[in-house]
Structure 1
Amino acid sequence: MSRVGMIFVVIVMLSIYGGVNYYIAGKIYQWLSLVFPYLNTRLYIGIYIFAAFSMILVFLPLPFVVKNIISWLSAHWMGIFIYLLLFIVIANLVILIGSMINLIPNPTPESIYFYTGLIVILLTTSFVTYGLYNANQIKHVSYDIQMKENNLQEDIKIVLISDLHLGAVNSEKRLKNIVKKINQLEPDIVSIAGDIFNDDYNAIQKPEEAIDLLSSIKTKYGVYGSLGNHDGGGTFDDMVRFLERSNIRLLSDEHVIINDEFILIGRVDPSPIGGFKGLQRKEIADIITSIDDTNIPIVVMDHTPTKLEQYDGIADLVLAGHTHRGQIFPGNLITNAIFEVDYGYYQKDATSPHVIVSSGVGTWGMPMRVGSNNEIVSITLH
């Protein structure tokens, strides 16, 4: 896309975002005016504009401390904005339909606006509060997978995590608990299926502590990672060094043979934000040709669960993330419509691989989970 085209897209997006915020701000002001007749209009407008445009300010080159504050505000505002919009639209549709079928008088009484506004505020507060709480809970999900017959000498336990999003709001606060829970599962191998970072390595507030924590993961055969779409950009080299120091082996369209029992392949994500410093995704067929023995089971880490048919007849198991299962309702309805499988276990037919898509162990954007969970996945290969 040309520079002019990019500028046009940005202007359109900002216009839409501004228009939607104008709509929300007007409806909230209408309700607040009923509750607080002497509401300071200028103060309200100033606070709302600052909160709404924190999502834009976060991209400016601000001092580190200021940027962290703006990032915290913008992340929380994103969730508040989504639920305010959702519930205001629903409330106004109810009023409109009620007026059309004569259940609600026309013009609409102030009492109706008061109670619908109150319901919107209470629902938004409830969903956001629950989302913040639930995002700090780490669930455990387990699967049993039957691999190619007689190839494994003994059962293998893989612990899968994805979407750590280190650098995002609250990401580092969860890390100690994540590592503790991984070690409690006593994995043979740990697979990190992409989005280890959140676009910018410098957003990690305490990288040395994060390195020490990740280095303390205990496994029999090691910790392996693949690149997600948020693992690129200008600080890509810093991300790679971070993984090396954390004893995480990055597989970039590469493979490793685990205990002569199965092959683990890590794919490069097809849509990196900011690129991988020239690193390009290979075709799976090209990766397979570099493997001497393909008669043992093949497990693939591929961050984004798209074009799964490419693994038919090749891979036994595909491990993915990316979708967050929509992260907050109604996002799960969108991911379910977009992806062939947006969460959990899936196998299309007998010639297709087993597929496990994790909802992720961290959050992107708003530090909230509604209708989905942060999770650690254990997979026993038989």
Structure 2
Amino acid sequence: MLKTSRRPAIPRRSTRAIKFWGIFLSVYALVMIYPWVRIDMLMGVAWQPGPVTYALMGAVPLLVRFTRERLPRLVARWLLLLCMTWLGLSFILFVFLVLFEPFNLILSPNPLHAAWTLLGATALSAASGAINAQLIGTKTLRLHFQKLRGNLRVVQISDVHIGSRRPGLLRRIVKKTNALQPDYIMITGDLIDLPHIEVDELRPLGEFEAPVFYVIGNHERYIDLDEIDARLRQLGFTVLRNEETATRQFQMIGIDDADDAAQVGTQLSQLDLDREAFKILLYHRPAGLEAAAEHGIDLMLTGHTHAGQIMPFNLVVKRVFVHLRGLVTHGPTTLYVSPGTGTWGPVMRLGSRSEITCFELSGQSHPE
């Protein structure tokens, strides 16, 4: 009788990882390499980059991304800026090419003219996006909650991404935030996205004129989380790590960012929540709204999506997160998804804007 040997089964988690990286690298190559190959074809120039050149165009940004912690911080920051700008240009050109190809099939315009038009449109869009990314707007929302005692002004900051963005951005954010005269400041993660950002570079954060509550985002998890925690506490932040605290007017809850879809429900079930108190929940990503409602959360503040940052990438983000930006109500809970105060990756915004959000909350009036 012949014996047959079975190949060991590939664990499901490994299969998912292989599938994810296969899709990711395919899409990445399509966005980073195809646009420039197509432009070369349209221009018909005498010198044509070879496969090695195109491979390097795609590989270098990834290499910088994964080796940045071993590079001097200043070098890593500038290399990341260059690589992410290249990524932004490639993505914008890719979008224009998707629109161009059907037009090209029908009308067959002059290839050289088409190439220069595509490059010009890409350059103008990227320049517009770069200027827009430097602008920080303020948005004021007025909300009423029956459970709240008195009135409250809260300012939310999210997704600043110091590291990808230079620390000088903090001074502008702090100045604009203080001008709003908030009672409390809430920071919903991704404040920092490069390791070894020292306290001196974060010093402007100590100039906030109101108490600051902070929760971590996914980017803090990827780098020196414990050191970030210590630095921000040193600057006077209240860092909430799956815990709650109380003020005179409300109960404050902060939950660590996690890839687990059940994270909000799991952590809330382990906390001592005051059923009668007005409750504010900080969580980095717009997930767990139903669980928050089940636990009687009144206001949930999140970020993470950047509102897509560069359109039409918002359509992709919308496939992952149902709530892309703005206000959503579910049962007793009002959710707000910030479009972010900074940017990640390319310092560009098209179809979105950076925002500091001011919430003017009104409630029951009680005599002192």
TM-score clears 0.5: yes
State the match for 1:265 in structure 2: 253
1:116 aligned counterpart, secondary structure: helix
Contact 1:215/1:246 (<8 A) preserved? yes
State the match for 1:376 in structure 2: 356
State the match for 1:324 in structure 2: 306
1:208 lines up with 2:206 in the alignment: no
Aligned ranges 1:91-170 → 2 under 5 Å: 91-96=100-105, 98=106, 104=107, 108=108, 111-149=109-147, 151-152=148-149, 154-168=150-164, 170=165
Contact 2:33/2:58 (<8 A) preserved? no
1:143 aligned counterpart, secondary structure: strand
1: CA distance, partners of 2:121 / 2:153: 41
1: CA distance, partners of 2:233 / 2:286: 26
Q: 1:14 to 1:201 in 2, by over 3 A?
A: same
Q: How far apart are 1:340 and its partner, in Å?
A: 3.3
State the match for 2:293 in structure 1: 312
Q: 1:21 to 1:223 in 2, by over 3 A?
A: closer
Q: Which amino acid aligns with 2:269?
A: D
State the match for 1:231 in structure 2: 220
1:175 lines up with 2:167 in the alignment: no
1:312 aligned counterpart, secondary structure: helix
Aligned ranges 1:1-382 → 2 under 5 Å: 6=17, 10=21, 13-18=24-29, 21-33=32-44, 37=45, 39-42=46-49, 50-58=56-64, 59-60=66-67, 62-64=70-72, 65-96=74-105, 98=106, 104=107, 108=108, 111-149=109-147, 151-152=148-149, 154-168=150-164, 170-198=165-193, 200-202=194-196, 204=197, 207-219=198-210, 222-259=211-248, 261-271=249-259, 283-288=266-271, 290-291=272-273, 293-313=274-294, 314-348=296-330, 351-382=331-362
- Unpaired stretches in structure 2, ≥5 consecutive residues: 1-11, 363-368
CA offset digits 1:1-33 (Å, max 9, x no partner): 666875675466445533554432221112333
Higher mean alpha-carbon deviation, 364-373 vs 44-53, is at 44-53
1: CA distance, partners of 2:172 / 2:52: 39
Contact 2:32/2:57 (<8 A) preserved? no
Percent identity, aligned pairs only, is 26
CA offset digits 1:188-219 (Å, max 9, x no partner): 00000111221x423x3xx3333310011001
Q: 1:179 to 1:252 in 2, by over 3 A?
A: same
The two structures have a TM-score, normalised by structure 1, of: 0.82
Q: Which amino acid aligns with 1:247?
A: G
CA offset digits 1:168-201 (Å, max 9, x no partner): 1x34231110011011111100000111221x42
State the match for 1:277 in structure 2: none
Q: Which amino acid aligns with 2:235?
A: S
1: CA distance, partners of 2:286 / 2:199: 32
Q: How far apart are 1:281 and its partner, in Å?
A: 6.6
Contact 1:160/1:193 (<8 A) preserved? yes
2:275 aligned counterpart, secondary structure: coil
The two structures have a TM-score, normalised by structure 2, of: 0.85
Contact 2:32/2:91 (<8 A) preserved? no
CA offset digits 1:56-80 (Å, max 9, x no partner): 1211265314433321111101111
2:269 aligned counterpart, secondary structure: helix
Over the residues paired in the alignment, what is the CA RMSD in angstroms? 2.6
- Unpaired stretches in structure 1, ≥5 consecutive residues: 99-103, 273-279
Contact 1:171/1:363 (<8 A) preserved? no
Q: Which amino acid aligns with 2:63?
A: L
Contact 1:76/1:366 (<8 A) preserved? yes
Q: Which amino acid aligns with 2:293?
A: D
Q: How far apart are 1:51 and its partner, in Å?
A: 4.3
